[in-house]
Structure 1
Amino acid sequence: MTLHLPTSPSIWSGRNSETLSYFYQAMNCLTTLDPHTNPDGKYVAILGYVGDEGVKRNLGRPGATKGPEMIRRLMASMAYHLPANYHLLDLGDIQTLDGDMEASHELITQTVRSLLSKRIFPVLIGGGHDLAYAHGKGVFEHVHQKSEKLGIINLDAHFDLRVKSAGKGHSGSPFLQLGEEFPNDFHYLCLGIQRAANPPLLFETAKRLKAEWMEIEDFTLDNWQEITILLDEFCSKVNKIYLSIDLDGFSSAYAPGVSAPSPSGFSPELAFKVLDWIAKTGKLISMDVVELNPKYDQDNSTARLAARCVEFVLRKLS
């Protein structure tokens, strides 16, 4: 079996329309991870990660392998408002086979690096949050070639700065892995941190890595002015931004279908204000949405939220 699985075009379907009105009509499903582009267009590439080995290693509840398909299905029928010069590409999925998460990670890193070199905006959908290590590594390698400084913004209830388990990465360790691999260039901001989900050692690790964060008690609409000050200070120090959205950072009232649900997470209204702010910086270079677990979703609400996050960012970027 191969690590790369092209997407069946049948997944991208929706109501009939004689004009370009829905995402499914704009999506081009490819059989290669190496697309061709032309200099006049703007390109967005969807890449799925069919893997929850990292979730299992982190003692989470498995099921995130079905996440990419559900995000595509919910995104397909959404109204399409992007400019005519946008080209949407679905590159399919990269899967983990026989627990070899590291092999799938390496292919993801290579693919992200290649896409960015062609000025294609990558949108990765998962899948466990271990994806962030592979994704972030590809972005780091790209920006280093251009001598640029990368900032990572993670919307999440967790730091994901845990140590490896038996020498192997997992869904709780991606940003520690990035911090250790790129120690002189690690600029990390996490919004929505919950103390109940992060032991004291993780706060010490965050301080050691000079990470920045805002806890859920302060990450509220009422505190928007302070949030924008934090965002402005962080983004002023970097040239490019890699955005990671962990769906378990949302309150389980909005996102029940995740690997680690929480009733006290943030709201979509606040998250979308942050996404809008980041998009308007002009520095966003890549994004992912992770930890969708359709097995525990209700009325596809979490999958729909994930799809809306992607649509919203792309629309604001345009």
Structure 2
Amino acid sequence: MLEDYYKLVYPYYQGAVEDDLYAAKWGMRIQFLDLNDEALSPFEGINFGIIGFKSDKGVYINHGRVGAVEGPEAIRPQLAKLPWHLGRHVRVFDVGNIDGPNRSLSQLQHSLAKAVKRMRELNIRPIVLGGGHGTAYGHYTGLKNSLPTNESLAVINFDAHFDLRPYDQTGPNSGTGFRQMFDDAQEEKRAFPYLVLGIQEHNNNLFLFDFVAKSEGIEFLTGLDMYKMGHENICQLVDRFLADKEKVYVTIDMDCFSFGVAPGVSAIQSLGVDPNVALIVLQHIVASGKLVGFDVVEVSPPHDIDFHTANLAATFIFYMTQIWSQIHHI
């Protein structure tokens, strides 16, 4: 049985199941699933699974603005009201949440990893709704554990921050997830291919830039780089990064974007990546056929304005799944 796992017990979108695909919305097509149902066997065809990670403990430890614990419940209704463009043969399951107010971030990350691995075993492609960026380590670990040991898992992070901070003093937090991944790779004597898109120099200290410069496999573009390069050159860089990688995990920290389009985040951003450029690059990554899971994190509803940030997160899911649904083998 999965720990810290709770299936959804009530629908979050008011509307009957709609069989007319010309009129259907996501909320009318989403089905609910209990991952602890031992009678389940792998589903056929193309299946997506939404799971929430209801924790922003790492944000609190990292002195950010708490509130991302409410992110999954804000993103779901925004996604539910979007029009259904995925056809009749694609299924989307909402499998519930990982939640544990009295549990440590490490415990919840471990629980998320087990749930993600369970989803992959059932032929369900994970879409995780954070939560703070502590979400990433649990999601990554679950994906890694679901792959053959000889397959490399690259990481592409849309983020204003490297999130490579040491955690020996504070324990894991929202700024340490990718350092945890790096340390796991070091311990296992394997590479950690990590590409960060959207770094803001004024949000990262020199220690982090020094760490990146000395660490093999880590690449990045600043937000200004992306502005100057344009989407075609960014996509070419992504292609080079993924050329020798079998699989990729994508994580989208909503603080990658300026507070003008994403005001409801744990750490507001005065500059930021153009979301249109980000979307083109995200769809390009999905089209590579190497994506095994993605998440959107750091949506903080108490700081949002008219659900702008939650809606943008839902919009990324809408467009990424359109491409992902056309990939038949992952």
What is the TM-score with the length of structure 1 in the denominator?
Answer: 0.94
Offset of residue 167 of structure 1: 4.8
Aligned residues of 2:51 and 2:94 also touching (Cα < 8 A): yes
Aligned residues of 2:43 and 2:122 also touching (Cα < 8 A): no
The CA distance in 2 between the partners of 1:92 and 1:58, in whole Å, is 26
For residue 192 of structure 1, what is the aligned residue in structure 2?
198
Offset of residue 51 of structure 1: 0.4
Aligned residues of 1:186 and 1:209 also touching (Cα < 8 A): no
Q: Does 1:7 align with 2:14?
A: no
1:1-318, aligned counterparts within 5 Å? 3-14=4-15, 19-20=20-21, 21-33=24-36, 36-143=40-147, 145-164=148-167, 166-183=169-186, 184-210=190-216, 211-220=218-227, 223-318=230-325
Between the two proteins, the alignment pairs up a number of residues equal to: 316
The CA distance in 1 between the partners of 2:229 and 2:293, in whole Å, is 29
Give the 3 Å change call, closer, same or farther, for CA 22–37 of structure 1 in structure 2: farther
**Residues 144-201 of structure 1: CA deviation (Å, up to 9, x unaligned):** x252111100000000001116251000000000000112131000000001000011
The CA distance in 2 between the partners of 1:298 and 1:100, in whole Å, is 30
**Residues 46-97 of structure 1: CA deviation (Å, up to 9, x unaligned):** 1101101010011101001110011001111110111322121111111132
Amino acid across the alignment from 1:305: L
Aligned residues of 2:42 and 2:122 also touching (Cα < 8 A): no
Give the 3 Å change call, closer, same or farther, for CA 33–275 of structure 1 in structure 2: farther
Consecutive unaligned residues in structure 1, runs of 5 or more:
none
Amino acid across the alignment from 2:194: Y
SS at match of 1:9: coil
Aligned residues of 2:253 and 2:296 also touching (Cα < 8 A): yes
Aligned residues of 2:42 and 2:123 also touching (Cα < 8 A): no
For residue 328 of structure 2, what is the aligned residue in structure 1?
none
The CA distance in 2 between the partners of 1:83 and 1:18, in whole Å, is 10
The CA distance in 1 between the partners of 2:18 and 2:91, in whole Å, is 19
**Residues 226-272 of structure 1: CA deviation (Å, up to 9, x unaligned):** 21221111010201010000000011110000000102011210111
The CA distance in 1 between the partners of 2:90 and 2:19, in whole Å, is 19
SS at match of 2:192: coil
Amino acid across the alignment from 2:202: A
The CA distance in 2 between the partners of 1:196 and 1:292, in whole Å, is 21
Q: In terms of mean alpha carbon deviation, does 97-106 or 34-43 score higher?
A: 34-43
Aligned residues of 1:48 and 1:93 also touching (Cα < 8 A): yes
Offset of residue 39 of structure 1: 5.0
The CA distance in 2 between the partners of 1:46 and 1:162, in whole Å, is 29
Offset of residue 279 of structure 1: 1.1
SS at match of 1:220: helix
SS at match of 1:257: coil
Consecutive unaligned residues in structure 2, runs of 5 or more:
326-330
